[in-house]
Chain A
Amino acid sequence: MSNKEPLKLSEHEEFLIKIKKENFRVHTARISILILFFCLWEIAAELSWIDPFITSRPAAIFDTLVLLNANGELWRHLFITVGETVVGFMLGTIIGTLIAVLLWWSPFLSRVLDPYIVVLNSLPKVALGPIIIVWVGAGLMAVITMSLLISGIITIINVYGGFHEVDQEKIILVKSFGATKKQILQKVILPASFPTIINALKINVGLSWVGVIMGEFLVSKAGLGYLIVYGSQVFKLNLVMTSILVLAVAAVGMYLAVAYFEKKIIRHL
């Protein structure tokens, strides 16, 4: 070899380099798939392998995006949908947790309500859509209610389950100090279940999106779900695809935000 004395790397350094290379390859592959997919889509449309009238095409999606951005429509619909989702999942988490606390507080109530919760959980919530519309009107409120219903029930079940997994002996410990029921809740149950509640948050983000888009399909006059339905009705597939793409980006963004929030908080536990 030409180099007489190659730089000797320690085993650990070699290990790190190996990991870096591996990561680089994974990332490159990921991005390549995305680019390849869009290129293929565009080429297929260009060469008339597929009919862009029903499949749309990346160039048209891009144009639509530019247009929607220019006339401000994109941001209005995005804002409405994201707003509904945030409100839905916050309400779902808070109300769900409060009901879980209530059920923990009264074992009698919890036993009485158990079958109702099971039924509500099994029932596909979209079936309640028409009733919701009748009750709260066909608008923003109906969408939020739908999202709240879906995430709220799951929160009740998960958080209530978490409360029951709290170590019984920890409760005995505070009881031996003479703790009241409220103190047991404050000092043991809630802090011990905190990870469960944060986890519920993470699940609820996803479920709230389901609820919101479902709700928008059913009732709304604005939002990404509305754009998708409207686009498909008037056969503007460019609009449909663009909305779905924006939706995907927004959903991932929100998931990452919650995951980041979780990491920040859990670090202290």
Chain B
Amino acid sequence: MMKRKILTISNLTKSYHTKNSETLAVKDFSLNIHEGEFIVIVGPSGCGKSTILSILSGLLEPSSGEIIYHSQTYPLSIGYMQQNDHLFPWRTILKNVMLGLEIQGRATQENMDKVIKQLKMYGLGKFLNSYPNQLSGGMRQRAALIRTLAINPDILLLDEPFSALDYQTRLAVSEDIVSILKKEKKTVIMITHDLNEAISMASKVVVISKRPGKIIDTHDIRLSSEGDSMLQKREAPEFMDYYNKIWKELDVHVE
């Protein structure tokens, strides 16, 4: 089955300039992304992962290189989610989730109904009119994801979306989020530090070297697990092979 190509990144390079230094953060990063893929990027801290996502989201200009979106809809809509949920404490959950639609002038009754339905579906129905500080970390993260999904993006960019959560919540929320994203048939590029998370969520893992970030290797993940849950996937016989391989690739390049 040949999936449609949705994004081509070629030779992406980015340097940061400050008054007395120049930092080469990303060098010659190239990747093809197909519809429905769940790409997870792993790499040592400071290797330029967040930089890559910022550039893909359009918030940052690359120094050189090209990004081509193969999209029927223009402009292609991108959902960008950061490490912290950044729910606004002065807005209710519903109003927080509506933020993107509001900014894009699409806060119609119809879209609002859709958002409310989604909030209900993902267990936040009782909290529509609550303020963020009344929610648990996991619930907040789910609300942040729904806020990102509300604008109906073609591609989702997730920058360590679970790192603010404790282990238990993290497992539950990542499970939720994978199932949400599967149901909504989204293309995802995610960054994580957690190899377990990477292998159990991804359809493809991209390993990046230390700064300046270059691709060391990519792994198409195929797990013959019983079920689809995170824990079941972690029990698949291939899981440890992937884990060891990726771990070694990262380890070798730490020096």
Query: Which A residues are within 8 Å of any B CB, using their own CB?
Result: 167, 169-170, 172-179, 183, 187-188, 191-192, 194, 268-269
21 sample A-B contacts, Cβ–Cβ < 8 Å, listed by A number: A169-B82, A169-B86, A170-B86, A173-B99, A176-B58, A176-B79, A177-B99, A177-B100, A177-B103, A177-B104, A177-B151, A178-B103, A179-B103, A187-B99, A187-B102, A187-B103, A191-B91, A192-B88, A192-B90, A194-B90, A269-B90
Does B250 interact with chain A (Cβ within 8 Å)?
no
Does the CB pair A191–B90 fall under 8 Å? yes
Does the CB pair B84–A191 fall under 8 Å? no
Does B123 interact with chain A (Cβ within 8 Å)?
no
In whole Å, how far is B89's beta carbon from the nearest beta carbon of chain A?
A: 7
In whole Å, how far is B5's beta carbon from the nearest beta carbon of chain A?
A: 23
Query: CA of A245 to CA of B103 in the docked complex: distance in angstroms?
Result: 53
Q: Dominant SS at the A interface?
A: helix
How many A-B contacts are there with CB distance less than 8 Å? 43
In whole Å, how far is B103's beta carbon from the nearest beta carbon of chain A?
A: 4
Contact-size category for B: 10 to 19
Does the CB pair B86–A173 fall under 8 Å? yes
Contacts of B104 in A (CB 8 A): 177-178
In whole Å, how far is A168's beta carbon from the nearest beta carbon of chain B?
A: 10
Knowing that A174-B103, A187-B103, A268-B90 are A-B contacts, what are 7 other residue pairs whose CB atoms are under 8 Å apart, sorted by A's residue number?
A167-B86, A169-B86, A170-B88, A177-B99, A177-B103, A178-B103, A187-B99
Query: CA of A187 to CA of B105 in the docked complex: distance in angstroms?
Result: 13
Most chain A beta-carbon neighbours within 10 Å: one of B86, B104, B151 = B86
* Cβ-neighbour of B80 out of A170, A176, A191 (below 8 A): A176
The 9 closest A-B pairs by CB, nearest first: A176-B80, A177-B100, A177-B103, A179-B103, A191-B90, A173-B86, A269-B90, A170-B86, A176-B57
| Known contacts A169-B82, A191-B90, A174 near B99 by CB under 8 Å | yes
Contacts of B90 in A (CB 8 A): 191-192, 194, 268-269
